[in-house]
Amino acid sequence: MKIYLREILDKDFPLILQLASETVKEQVSSVRQDVCLNSVRENYLSEMTQVLNLIKTLKDYRFFVSFARNDELSGYILMDTANNEIVTRIAQAWIFDLSVADPYWNTDIPDKLLEQAENIAREKGLKHIALRIPNSNEKRVNFFKSRGYEMEKYRFYKKLDSGFLNKNNLLEGGNINIRPVKGGDIPFMERLLKENLEFFISPLRCYSKEEIKNTRLNFCNELKDKLKTGELVSFIAEEDKIPLGFFLINYNRDFLSGQSEVYVNNIVVEKSVMGKWVSNKLGRKIEEYAAEKEIFTLSADIALSNRRSILFTTRYFGYVIEQVELLKCL
C-alpha cells in the first residue's frame, strides 16, 4: 500500500474532526464512572478545533496526517516537542493523539506516523518521547510496547461516595493531628522532598546526577510560590507539634469527561514513621478535603518502580488503574 505522509493543511480540518469523532472512544477509560460518550466526543472535538485553529502559531506542536488509497485520510498524529516532564520539568516529546481509522490499524500507517514523531523528537535533541492511554485499551498498549515503549507510570483513579462525609472514616493514629501548612513548614517540606525525590522519578529515564541535582533545586524552589498562589494545597501531619509528613494536591479537570477532580501530587512522610498510620491519616484527609469541596473524583500518577506507593494506594484506599504512561528513550 502506498502511504502519503505530510504536515496538516487547512483543507484537512474537516477530515481530522471526522476521524477524531470516530476514534475518541479509544481514549475513554473503562473504569471512570459517570462518563457520557457524547459529552466526551463534544469536549474532545472542541479541544481539537482549538488546536487546529492555533496550530500555525503553536511552534512546538507538530501535526501529521496520512493518506491511503483514493486520498482517504487514514490517520494522524499530534505531538508537542516542548512538553515538560511533570517531576523534573526536563523537556520531552509528548504524543497527544495517534488516531488511525479502523481499517488501517493492521497496516504500516500507525508505524509510519509514530516513526515520524520519533524522528522529529530526535531532530530536536530530545531524549524521551511519552504518551498516556487507557490501561484497558490493550490494542494500543500492546502496539506501543511492541515498538519499544515501556510502561513507566500508572494513573490511578478513585470515585468517592457522595455520602462520604456522613460515614465513619476514622483511622488509627489518634494522636496525629492534620492541619493546613504554614510558612514555617517549608524547610521541613523541602527536606523531605529532596530525600524522597528518587521515588517520584522513573529509573527508566536514566537521568544524570547533574539533572537530578537540578531537579531537586527546581522542585523545591517552585514549592513556596505554588503554595502561595494556591496552585498547590498542602496539609501537615504532626504529633506533639513535631511534623511527620505532608501531602500536596491540586485541582484538575479531566479534559475528556470534563469531571472536576483532586489530583494527588504526593504524600511524603519521615522514614521513621512509615507504617505508623501517618500516610493513612494524610490520605484520608485528602478524601475529606475533596468531599468538603464537593469534588468526588481523585487521581494520582505513580511510577511503576514505586511499588510501596502503588500497594498503599490500591490496598488501603481502593484506587484503581485508569491509564498507563508509556515511555521510549530515543
3-state SS track over 154-190:
EEEEEECCCCHHHCCCCCCCCCCEEEECCHHHHHHHH
Q: Where are the domains of the chain?
A: 4-148, 158-329
Convert the pLDDT of each residue in 225-283 to its tens digit.
899 899 999 999 999 999 999 999 999 999 899 999 999 999 999 999 988 899 999 99
Model confidence at 162, in pLDDT bands (50, 70, 90)? Answer: confident
The reported pTM is 0.92
Task: Give the SS3 label for residue 210.
Answer: helix
Pick the CATH number of 4-148 from 3.40.470.10, 3.40.50.2300, 3.40.630.30, 2.120.10.30: 3.40.630.30
* Model confidence at 168: pLDDT above 80: no
Separation CA 290–CA 278 (nearest Å): 19
Separation CA 254–CA 259 (nearest Å): 5
- What is the topology classification, in CATH, of domain 158-329? Aminopeptidase (3.40.630)
Beta strand 320-329 with 128-134 is antiparallel
Q: Are 75 and 111 in contact (CB under 8 A)?
A: no
For residue 76, the model assigns a pLDDT of 97
Separation CA 57–CA 51 (nearest Å): 10
Q: Can you read off the three cell numbers belonging to residue 324?
A: 498507563
15-19 average pLDDT score? 96
For residue 172, the model assigns a pLDDT of 54
Q: Can you read off the three cell numbers belonging to residue 280?
A: 493513612
Question: H or E segment at 270?
Answer: none
37-54 vs 13-23: helix crossing angle, rounded to 10: 150
Separation CA 195–CA 216 (nearest Å): 9
Residue 225: CB partners within 8 Å, gap ≥ 6?
Answer: 231
For residue 78, the model assigns a pLDDT of 98
Intra-chain end-to-end CA distance of the chain, in Å: 28
Residue 101: CB partners within 8 Å, gap ≥ 6?
Answer: 19, 22, 23, 72, 73, 74, 75
Residue 301: CB partners within 8 Å, gap ≥ 6?
Answer: 86, 153, 154, 155, 156, 325
* Model confidence at 171: pLDDT above 60: no
For residue 144, the model assigns a pLDDT of 98
Model confidence at 69, in pLDDT bands (50, 70, 90)? Answer: confident
Closest CA to 159 of 254, 94, 91, 40: 254
Q: Provide the 8-state DSSP code for 127.
A: S
Q: Are 330 and 309 in contact (CB under 8 A)?
A: no
Angle ∠(202,207,212) on CA atoms, nearest 5: 90
Closest CA to 98 of 175, 188, 204, 5: 5
Which residues are registered as beta bridge partners of 235?
180, 247
Angle ∠(210,216,222) on CA atoms, nearest 5: 130
For residue 198, the model assigns a pLDDT of 84
* Model confidence at 1: pLDDT above 90: no
- Which region among 92-96, 162-166, 205-209 has the lowest average model confidence (pLDDT)? 162-166
For residue 213, the model assigns a pLDDT of 86
The separation between CA 30 and the C-alpha centre of its own chain, rounded to angstroms, equals 17
The two domains 4-148 and 158-329 share their CATH topology (first three levels equal): yes
